[in-house]
């Protein structure tokens, strides 16, 4: 297995806000190109890599979906050289003051999100209240006339916190959700170079998961796989998160269970992980998984789907933390699943057994 | 003449990226000692960790005192920055912490930090937004629920009692400098440069102080030890020169970026010596150096300790205006910093003993 860390750090350094994924797509495409037989972008920008299987035609196809888009912000106004903001995807405004960002104006501009002093804010916002996003500003360190020249309303704004290697083979950065899963899929593709598989495999990096799963709907419709395996991030246990829906960091991926998940796929993954002695947790999702699986499951005539989760701390902040081991385990589990699929695997994907 | 070029900006970058939370100023002290050692007549690190460096002038007397030659002028800049101290190891590299110095805890969630002597990278996270209840969003995230996370191996590498600060990330963009701890590495880098180019008409007593952010403590003992004729404090002051939320004119700014160094008339701790204020203004006017008078009001500098030392020491502060003090990223203008050094150097050159012989009226 190659060292995934440099690639992951490249991914965590790249912008790629929902709707503006190209910087990430280019990095992923370059890495996947030698690992797949065909590679292209969909009509909405998702990246489709195809590894053909060895089975007889017409071959069934499996789709891996890992979304590559990032949550972030967008410029809504310019006031005396300062930028006003709105959010793209779910962001807690309370993590924003002091946050380094890149404003994608006529050129990429470094800046910092700032919290104005209390006396310049509405009287009901005191020192003890968080300052709502609508009152936060971006300072680009430029003079007002330069800002007006370089920035427009609607320009995307990305977090620019560089990735940090923490102790115990963990990594912190923005957009670990969900570039960690893109890295896991990359590991899977690398493993498959030396592992024959009968099924066709579509490796898909989807767009716009954070704002409505457009990429998942459209790729699933276009590629029409027999089954879909979604990989996304889950909540790791840690400060502020210790409930039933959180999972230990570094103790393996989750295998999701709930109405989005086809029971046969859930069973197959659990049995495989048990056999390989890959640690995992079962993640219960009583309503929906909050992943691309929500969309893929109901595409066209319906597609049997499953979702795996890589636990991360501080999700949707610029300092999400992931354990590299969990990424490697997820990648290996995915590859083993593909390599072990019989040509008639679909016969096992049934109800009420 | 002191100048600000690539070398000085590089030095500022090293100083800003160093970690020197109040009580733990060693990293900056090391840089300071290294920079000034070849220029000082005498250097001492005192009981609190202040660096006291003297450099005698060479011109004939300007002094008030019998037996000595020139006016003894103290320049003080604080080395310390605000930050954090680890208070408890919660296991798996997760630590509780307290703030050291005036920090708005709304600036902490989602930030990268560095911890301990090794500058170990860590993060202050926040509960995932998906798990935050709507009610919670109305409140700031309390310090008690924040942790510094160093990764699972962290507990073996640092202990409670060690310091931490915001992760360094010095940047230059357009006319601006963006960094943590511009307060007061702007003052430290300036004082190093001024010390190297001390004018001959005074005896320069440079003090790189400790524990300003939680005191000022270091300046108090340094001023006692050096017993200067007058003191100028070099610091950095918040600007608060942002637009008001409702478009009304901002009448509560403190200073304005790009308008030159800020001369203090009065802050929360000190009424500056009016003779020194007049001197600085007159020098700026005479030499065509942009300057501004800091809005009288709150805040404080090392002057708060110095001016009350011994039988009283004529003192004034001069600051570089900057925005977002005590956060992960402050913003200052390079031009303001250049003019700050130019103003203080010119003020030193033009000092005569008459300045403090006159009644302070």
Q: Check if the beta carbon of residue B17 is closer than 8 Å to that of residue B78.
A: no
CB B112 to CB A164 under 8 A? yes
Whole-angstrom Cα distance, residue A172 to residue A184? Answer: 16
Whole-angstrom Cα distance, residue B223 to residue B269? Answer: 16
CA B194 to chain CA mean position, Å: 15
CB A129 to CB B138 under 8 A? yes
Q: Which of B13, B81, B193, B212 is the catalytic position?
A: B212
Tracing tokens 């080395």 back to the chain, one arrives at B79
Nearest CA in chain B to A109: B173
Q: What pLDDT, in 10s, does the model give residues A254-294?
A: 999 999 999 999 999 999 999 999 999 999 999 999 999 99
Whole-angstrom Cα distance, residue B164 to residue B147? Answer: 12
pLDDT for residue B60? 72
CB B151 to CB A167 under 8 A? yes
pLDDT band of B69, cuts 50, 70, 90: low
Tokens matching residue B293:
């008078």
Q: Do both B119 and B68 map to the same domain?
A: no
pLDDT for residue B64? 57
Q: Check if the beta carbon of residue B169 is closer than 8 Å to that of residue B113.
A: no
Question: Chain B: nearest CA to A233, how far in angstroms?
Answer: 12
- With contacts defined as CB-CB under 8 Å, which chain B residues touch A316? 128-130
Q: Where are the domains of chain A?
A: 5-70+174-348, 72-159
Q: How many domains does chain B have?
A: 2
Q: Do both B299 and B268 map to the same domain?
A: yes
Instruction: Kindly give, in sequence order, each residue whose CB lies less than 8 Å from that of residue A344, ignoring residues fewer than 6 positions away.
Output: none
CB B150 to CB A167 under 8 A? yes
Q: Do both B250 and B268 map to the same domain?
A: yes
Tokens matching residue B111:
């930030």
pLDDT band of B359, cuts 50, 70, 90: confident
Tokens matching residue A5:
């860390």
Report yes or no on B1 lying in a domain: no
User: By percentage, how much of chain B surpasses pLDDT 90?
Assistant: 92
Whole-angstrom Cα distance, residue A231 to residue A254? Answer: 10
pLDDT band of A2, cuts 50, 70, 90: low
Nearest CA in chain A to B93: A167
Q: What pLDDT, in 10s, does the model give residues B187-219?
A: 999 999 999 999 999 999 999 999 999 989 999
Q: Do both B236 and B341 map to the same domain?
A: yes
From the list A97, A143, A241, the residue facing B174 with the nearest CB is A143
In terms of CATH, what superfamily is A72-159?
Peptidase M42, domain 2 (2.40.30.40)
Nearest CA in chain B to A164: B121
Report yes or no on B153 lying in a domain: yes
Q: Considering B166, B199, B215, which residue would you say is the last residue of a domain?
A: B166
Report yes or no on B113 lying in a domain: yes
Mutate to test the interface with B, among A171, A240, A244 (most CBs of B within 10 A): A240
Range of the structural domain that residue B245 is part of: 6-81+180-357
Q: What pLDDT, in 10s, does the model give residues B296-339?
A: 989 999 999 999 999 999 999 999 999 999 999 999 999 999 99
- With contacts defined as CB-CB under 8 Å, which chain B residues touch A170? 151-152
Q: Is the pLDDT of residue A1 over 50?
A: no
Report yes or no on B69 lying in a domain: yes
Tokens matching residue A224:
């029409």
Domain of B18, CATH number, reads 3.40.630.10
Q: Is A312 helix (H, G, I), strand (E, B) or coil?
A: strand
Report yes or no on B174 lying in a domain: no
pLDDT band of B25, cuts 50, 70, 90: very high
Question: Chain B: nearest CA to A323, how far in angstroms?
Answer: 9
- With contacts defined as CB-CB under 8 Å, which chain B residues touch A135? 245
Whole-angstrom Cα distance, residue B64 to residue B60? Answer: 12
**Helix, strand, coil % (nearest 5) of chain A?**
30, 30, 40
Q: Do both B194 and B75 map to the same domain?
A: yes
- With contacts defined as CB-CB under 8 Å, which chain B residues touch A115? 104, 106-107, 324
Q: Residue B114: enclosing H or E segment and its boundaries?
A: strand B111-115
Nearest CA-CA partner of A221 in A65, A78, A342? A65
The strand pairing partners of A282, in sequence order, are A255
From the list B109, B150, B238, the residue facing A95 with the nearest CB is B109
CB A172 to CB B112 under 8 A? yes
pLDDT for residue A305? 98
In terms of CATH, what superfamily is A5-70+174-348?
Zn peptidases (3.40.630.10)
pLDDT for residue A352? 83
Whole-angstrom Cα distance, residue B170 to residue B182? Answer: 9
Choice between B358 and A314, residue whose per-residue pLDDT is larger: A314
CB A321 to CB B125 under 8 A? yes
Tracing tokens 């999100």 back to the chain, one arrives at A113
Q: Do both B217 and B331 map to the same domain?
A: yes
CB A100 to CB B140 under 8 A? no
Q: Considering B166, B192, B224, which residue would you say is the last residue of a domain?
A: B166
Instruction: Kindly give, in sequence order, each residue whose CB lies less than 8 Å from that of residue B308, ignoring residues fewer than 6 positions away.
Output: none
Q: What pLDDT, in 10s, does the model give residues A111-129?
A: 999 999 999 999 999 999 9
- With contacts defined as CB-CB under 8 Å, which chain A residues touch B240? 117, 119-120
Tokens matching residue A158:
């990305």
Question: Chain A: nearest CA to B173, how far in angstroms?
Answer: 6
Q: Do both B304 and B338 map to the same domain?
A: yes
pLDDT for residue B355? 87
Question: Chain A: nearest CA to B339, how far in angstroms?
Answer: 18
CB B125 to CB A317 under 8 A? yes
Report yes or no on B234 lying in a domain: yes
Question: Chain B: nearest CA to A117, how far in angstroms?
Answer: 7
Is B212 one of the annotated active-site residues of the chain?
A: yes
Give chain B's mean pLDDT: 95
Q: Do both B36 and B125 map to the same domain?
A: no
3-state secondary structure B251-272: CCCCCCCCCCCEECCECCCCEC
Q: B111-115 and B163-166: which strand pairing?
A: antiparallel
Q: Is the pLDDT of residue B61 over 70?
A: no
From the list A121, A313, A323, the residue facing B149 with the nearest CB is A313
> CA of B45: how far to CAs of A181, B25, B51, B108, B205, in Å?
53, 12, 5, 33, 13
- With contacts defined as CB-CB under 8 Å, which chain A residues touch B152? 167-168, 170, 249-250, 323
Q: Do both B117 and B43 map to the same domain?
A: no
CB A316 to CB B129 under 8 A? yes
pLDDT for residue B152? 96
Mean pLDDT within A153-166: 98
Report yes or no on B94 lying in a domain: yes
CB B173 to CB A318 under 8 A? no
pLDDT band of A104, cuts 50, 70, 90: very high
Q: Is A338 exposed, middle or buried, given 0-12, 13-18 or 19+ CB atoms closer than 10 A?
A: buried
> CA of A48: how far to CAs of A41, A53, A229, in Å?
6, 16, 14
Mean pLDDT within A201-219: 96
Which 8-state DSSP code applies to residue B28? H
- With contacts defined as CB-CB under 8 Å, which chain A residues touch B174? 140-143, 146
Q: Considering B98, B132, B166, which residue would you say is the last residue of a domain?
A: B166
Domain of B161, CATH number, reads 2.40.30.40
b/e per residue B46-74 (b: at least 16 CB within 10 A) = bebbbbbbbbbbeeeebbeeeeebbbbbb
pLDDT for residue B63? 56
pLDDT band of A323, cuts 50, 70, 90: very high
Tokens matching residue B326:
């005590």
- With contacts defined as CB-CB under 8 Å, which chain B residues touch A146? 174
Nearest CA in chain A to B166: A98
CB A168 to CB B123 under 8 A? no
Tokens matching residue A55:
């089975």
CB B152 to CB A161 under 8 A? no
Q: Residue B145: enclosing H or E segment and its boundaries?
A: none
Question: Chain B: nearest CA to A209, how far in angstroms?
Answer: 15
Neighbours of A126 (CB within 10 A): 9
CB B123 to CB A166 under 8 A? yes
Mutate to test the interface with B, among A106, A107, A127, A319 (most CBs of B within 10 A): A319
Question: Chain A: nearest CA to B140, how far in angstroms?
Answer: 5
Count of helix runs (H) and strand runs (E) in chain A: 8, 17
Q: Do both B115 and B220 map to the same domain?
A: no
pLDDT band of B65, cuts 50, 70, 90: low
User: By percentage, how much of chain B surpasses pLDDT 70?
Assistant: 97
* Range list of β-strands (E), chain A: 38-41, 47-51, 61-67, 72-79, 82-88, 100-104, 108-114, 137-139, 156-159, 164-166, 170-173, 200-206, 227-235, 254-257, 281-284, 305-313, 320-323
The strand pairing partners of B165, in sequence order, are B114
Tokens matching residue B237:
């002051």
- With contacts defined as CB-CB under 8 Å, which chain A residues touch B139? 128-130
Q: Is the peptide bond before A178 cis (omega within 30 degrees of 0)?
A: yes
Q: Is the pLDDT of residue A299 over 80?
A: yes
pLDDT for residue B286? 98
Q: Do both B104 and B162 map to the same domain?
A: yes
Q: Do both B28 and B139 map to the same domain?
A: no
Q: Is the pLDDT of residue A211 over 60?
A: yes
Report yes or no on B175 lying in a domain: no
């Amino acid at each position: 297995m190659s060292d995934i860390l440099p690639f992951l750090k490249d991914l965590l350094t790249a912008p790629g806000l929902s709707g503006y994924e190209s910087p990430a797509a280019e990095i992923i495409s370059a890495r996947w190109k030698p690992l797949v037989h065909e590679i292209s972008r969909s009509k909405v920008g998702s990246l489709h890599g195809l590894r053909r299987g060895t089975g007889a035609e017409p071959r069934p196809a499996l789709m891996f979906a890992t979304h590559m888009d990032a949550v972030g912000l967008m410029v809504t106004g310019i006031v005396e050289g300062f930028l006003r903001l709105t959010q793209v995807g779910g962001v807690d405004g309370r993590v924003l003051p002091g946050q380094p960002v890149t404003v994608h104006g006529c050129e990429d501009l470094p800046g910092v999100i700032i919290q104005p002093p209390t006396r310049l804010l509405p009287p009901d916002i005191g020192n003890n209240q968080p300052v709502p996003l609508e009152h936060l500003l971006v300072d680009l360190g430029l003079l007002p006339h330069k800002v007006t020249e370089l920035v427009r309303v609607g320009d995307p704004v990305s977090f620019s916190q560089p990735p940090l290697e923490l102790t115990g083979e963990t990594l912190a950065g923005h957009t670990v959700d969900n570039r960690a899963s893109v890295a896991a899929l990359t590991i899977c593709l690398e493993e498959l170079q030396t592992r024959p598989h009968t099924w066709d495999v579509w490796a898909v990096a989807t767009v716009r998961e954070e704002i409505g799963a457009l990429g998942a709907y459209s790729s699933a419709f276009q590629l029409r796989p027999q089954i879909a395996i979604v990989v996304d991030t889950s909540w790791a246990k840690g400060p502020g998160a210790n409930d039933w829906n959180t999972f230990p960091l570094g103790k393996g991926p989750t295998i999701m269970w709930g109405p989005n998940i086809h029971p046969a796929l859930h069973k197959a993954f659990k049995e495989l992980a048990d056999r390989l002695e890959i640690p995992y947790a079962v993640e219960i999702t009583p309503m929906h998984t909050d992943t691309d699986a929500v969309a893929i499951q109901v595409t066209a005539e319906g597609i049997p789907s499953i979702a795996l989760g890589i636990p991360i701390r501080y999700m949707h902040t610029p300092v999400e933390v992931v354990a590299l081991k969990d990424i490697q385990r997820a990648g290996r589990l995915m590859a083993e699943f593909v390599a072990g699929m019989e040509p008639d695997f679909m016969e096992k994907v049934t109800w009420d057994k | 003449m002191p100048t600000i070029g690539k070398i000085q900006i590089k030095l500022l970058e090293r100083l800003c990226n160093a970690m020197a939370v109040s009580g733990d100023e060693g990293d900056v002290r090391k840089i300071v000692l290294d920079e000034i050692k070849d220029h000082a007549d005498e250097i001492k690190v005192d009981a609190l960790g202040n660096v006291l460096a003297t450099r005698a002038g060479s011109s004939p007397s300007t002094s008030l005192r019998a037996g000595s030659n020139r006016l003894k002028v103290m320049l003080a800049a604080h080395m310390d920055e605000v930050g954090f101290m680890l208070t408890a190891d919660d296991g798996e590299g997760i630590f509780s912490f307290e703030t050291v110095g005036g920090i708005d805890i709304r600036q902490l969630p989602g930030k990268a930090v560095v911890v301990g002597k090794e500058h170990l990278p860590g993060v202050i996270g926040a509960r995932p937004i998906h798990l935050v209840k709507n009610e919670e969003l109305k409140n700031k995230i309390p310090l008690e629920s924040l942790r510094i996370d160093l990764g699972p191996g962290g507990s073996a590498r640092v202990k409670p009692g060690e310091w931490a600060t915001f992760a360094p990330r010095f940047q230059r963009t357009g006319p601006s400098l963006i960094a943590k701890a511009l307060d007061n590495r702007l003052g430290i880098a300036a004082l190093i440069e001024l010390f190297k180019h001390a004018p001959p008409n005074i005896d320069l007593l440079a003090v790189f102080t400790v524990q300003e952010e939680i005191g000022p403590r270091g300046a108090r003992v340094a001023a006692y030890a050096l017993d200067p004729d007058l003191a100028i404090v070099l610091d950095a002051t918040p600007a608060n020169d942002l637009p008001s939320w409702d478009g009304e004119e901002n009448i509560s700014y403190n200073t304005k970026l790009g308008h030159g160094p800020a001369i203090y008339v009065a802050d929360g701790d000190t009424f500056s010596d009016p003779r020194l204020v007049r001197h600085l203004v007159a020098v700026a006017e005479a030499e065509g150096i942009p300057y501004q008078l800091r809005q009288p009001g709150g805040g404080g500098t090392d002057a708060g300790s110095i001016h009350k030392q011994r039988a009283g020491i004529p003192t004034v502060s001069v600051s570089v205006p900057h925005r977002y003090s005590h956060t992960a990223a402050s913003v200052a203008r390079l031009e303001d910093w250049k003019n700050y050094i130019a103003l203080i150097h010119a003020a030193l050159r033009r000092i005569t003993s008459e300045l403090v012989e006159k009644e302070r009226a």
